[in-house]
Amino acid sequence: MKGICKAFGPVKALVDASLEVMPGTIHGLVGQNGAGKSTIIKVLAGIIAPDAGSIEIGGRPVGRLTPASVERLGIHFIHQDRLLVPTATVGEAVFLRHEIGFGAFISRRRMAAAANELLKRYFGIELPAGALIKDLTTAQQKIVQITRALAQKTAVLVLDEPTASLVKTEVDSLFAVLRRLKADGIAIIFISHYMQEIDQLCDVVTVMRNGADVGTVRPAETSIDKIIAMMIARDVGAMFPKRKAAIGAPVLDVSQLGLAGRFEDISFTIRQGEIVGITGLLGSGAKEIVNCLFGLQTADKGTIAVEGRSVHPSGPYDAVAAGLALLPEDRRAHGIALDLSVRENVSLASLGRYSSKGLIKRAEEGRQVDALIRELTIKTPGKDVLVRQLSGGNQQKVSIAKWLSCQSRIYVLDEPTVAVDIAAKVEIYGLLNRLAERGAAILMLSSDLLELTGMCDRVLVVYRGALTGEFSGARLDSDLLLAASSGASRPSEMEAA
């Protein structure tokens, strides 16, 4: 791809961007939120028509690309924000537009069997027969999308932040798959905000900044710090800034919580000023525990108490009414209104603060929204732009800003920094520290071990539906967390450690 330009109205998403990718190579693509990564990928996918530039595939110039012509050329995509059809079965999703059989003779059973075969072969997992896409977790959906590409003849595979909601073991199996494909001569374009992944996996990496490529380097020869410096052209400072929060009274008390078949006997307390992490593999129950706090699932045993009052959230509305600020994982479905402006989204959760006698104090609201846009470095042409028009990571920042602008005392965050660039991560960590310093209690579900050890006072590990470890102080270490979440050490041994 040479000299690609693309403007959305006044926003120049790509300015003379070039990308050259070789067969049998894993080619990283990095840059801050809004740098233009997804846009250049969508140009290659035939989803966005560029304003200028040329594209050659296999040495031949190609004209106007369409999603169908691109697929015929063997180029497959795992997009950041294009989801699977929620009502399709796993088999239908994997073989979409490549159904086994014909017309009325399409064989659902054979497709399901073939899909499961691929899932087992590549990822070592089995999904319940007949499961619908909407019943799967985000991680399982990603795996199904990747399997769809593997089911077809592929020359180029493009993955836009594929690991964003995967846990360590799933990331490992994905990497094993990608290395196998690379050995088969497939070219892989891999977008990620995780620098360790880029370092481990990629042969070369192209850095984008403000819509242009600013350099292509080999991670084996170039330090991560150098690559980050190319991305942001400034210093981010300490990744995990120190906080000075006084630990106060208990505010969230979970006691003997249980949900049949998911988890049992879960008890923990979070105090004012504390940041507590919770982690566990896919299916461990960690996610479901947090969902019960959100009111997305309902526990059938035990109690949840907020500042001494017992609560039974049967939906996010109840949880919010009980005083919890929630950042759900699937922000596009639950956390953000795509067709409202940045301003409206940010002030949604805290409208009470800006209204007096039914009138919204626009000026004050505007100042607060501007301040958050600055603090979180949200890349947007202005606060009245629709959230739909922002890049994936910037949408994420808006959903975080929304809760930071309301002064809640308990925050429950599900993967708060997934898909967010490194500079914004540091901003978010700083904001969480400030919330804790103001006396907020924070529970954060995360699969990012670095983030857990860097940010939390304590981390709870869930394994097979039970709390199997609590790590703090010198024992708050990513190797110990990883071992505990994969069941490598039993609780008694961890106590002794």
Ligand X SMILES: Nc1ncnc2c1ncn2[C@@H]1O[C@H](COP(=O)(O)OP(=O)(O)OP(=O)(O)O)[C@@H](O)[C@H]1O
CA 301 to chain centre: 30
**From the list ligand X, Mg ion, none, partner contacted by residue 33 (C-beta under 5 to 8 A by kind):** ligand X
232 lines the binding site for ligand X (CB under 6 A): no
Among residues 413 and 422, whose Cβ is nearest to ligand X?
422
Report d(CA 278, CA 467) in Å as an integer: 10
Applying the rule CB under 6 A, the residues between 331 and 350 that interact with ligand X are: none
**From the list ligand X, Mg ion, none, partner contacted by residue 13 (C-beta under 5 to 8 A by kind):** ligand X
**C-beta separation of 390 from 401 below 8 A:** no
**DSSP reduced 3-state for 175:** helix
CB of 48 to ligand X, least distance (A): 8
CB of 41 to Mg ion, least distance (A): 8
User: How buried is 149 (Cβ within 10 angstroms: 0-12 exposed, 13-18 middle, 19+ buried)?
Assistant: buried
CB of 462 to ligand X, least distance (A): 29
Applying the rule CB under 5 A, the residues between 387 and 426 that interact with Mg ion are: 391-392
Among residues 127 and 208, whose Cβ is nearest to ligand X?
208
Among residues 288 and 421, whose Cβ is nearest to ligand X?
421
**From the list Mg ion, ligand X, none, partner contacted by residue 255 (C-beta under 5 to 8 A by kind):** none
Applying the rule CB under 6 A, the residues between 34 and 93 that interact with ligand X are: 34-39, 80
Report d(CA 83, CA 103) in Å as an integer: 25
Among residues 114 and 338, whose Cβ is nearest to ligand X?
338
CB of 11 to ligand X, least distance (A): 5
5 lines the binding site for ligand X (CB under 6 A): no
**From the list Mg ion, ligand X, none, partner contacted by residue 227 (C-beta under 5 to 8 A by kind):** none
**From the list ligand X, Mg ion, none, partner contacted by residue 379 (C-beta under 5 to 8 A by kind):** ligand X
Closest CA to 91 of 144, 39, 164, 16: 144
Residue with the two structure tokens 């790509």? 14
User: Given CA atoms 336, 331, 307, 475 in this order, what sign does their dihedral have?
Assistant: negative
The 66-85 contact track toward Mg ion, x by CB under 5 A, reads --------------x-----
33 lines the binding site for ligand X (CB under 6 A): yes
469 lines the binding site for ligand X (CB under 6 A): no
Please, what is the angle between helix 422-437 and helix 224-232, to 10°? Answer: 90
CB of 148 to ligand X, least distance (A): 21
The 384-403 contact track toward ligand X, x by CB under 6 A, reads -----xxxxxx---------
Interstrand relation of 2-8 and 52-57 (parallel, antiparallel or unpaired) = antiparallel
469 lines the binding site for Mg ion (CB under 5 A): no
Q: Looking at the DSSP assignment, which residues form a beta bridge with residue 350?
A: none
Beta strands in 287-393 (DSSP E): 301-306, 309-311, 324-327, 355-356, 359-360
CA angle, corner 369, sides to 358 and 389, nearest 5?
A: 110
Report d(CA 204, CA 183) in Å as an integer: 15
**DSSP reduced 3-state for 471:** strand
**From the list Mg ion, ligand X, none, partner contacted by residue 35 (C-beta under 5 to 8 A by kind):** ligand X
Binding site residues, ligand X, CB under 6 A: 8, 11, 13, 31, 33-39, 80, 379, 389-394, 421
